[in-house]
Amino acid sequence: MDIKSYIALALTLFTIGIIGVLVRRNAIIIFMCVELMLNAVNLLLVAFSKMHALSTAAKASVNYASDAQIFVFFIMVVAAAEVSVGLAIIVMMYRNVHTVDVNFLNRLKN
């Protein structure tokens, strides 16, 4: 498939993520949007890797062509760990202030 489709999809997902982070105030939604952005980048990485592996230049050194595929798995593992930490923070936040509205957390102001 043409690489442009992948790029368009990843860009769309990333933009949705950014807009979500900017406009929503619910911490869980923001968190999900952050994940969306992360995975958009992941998708792009995989797509580029595939494209690279098919290119003529990489044919000579085929051994390294699919490294990024594995790399993405690592990222997903780290992201999963990060999600657990992030969710834990949100749970603690809810226990303390009984809300998940991020605009409530503006005590650092001034």
Binding interface with another protein (CB under 8 A):
18, 21-23, 25, 30, 102-103, 105-110
CB of 26 or CB of 66, closer to another protein: 26
User: To the nearest whole angstrom, how small is the minimum distance from the Cβ of residue 109 to another protein?
Assistant: 3
CB of 23 or CB of 77, closer to another protein: 23
CA atoms within 13 A on the CB side of 31: 18
Q: Give CA–CA dist 49/64, Å, rounded.
A: 10
Q: Give CA–CA dist 3/72, Å, rounded.
A: 18
CB of 22 or CB of 57, closer to another protein: 22
Q: In the numeric block, which tokens belong to residue 110?
A: 């001034």
Positions of E strands within the chain: none
Which residues, in sequence order, are bridge partners of residue 101?
26
User: To the nearest whole angstrom, how small is the minimum distance from the Cβ of residue 78 to another protein?
Assistant: 21
CB of 31 or CB of 49, closer to another protein: 31
User: To the nearest whole angstrom, how small is the minimum distance from the Cβ of residue 30 to another protein?
Assistant: 8
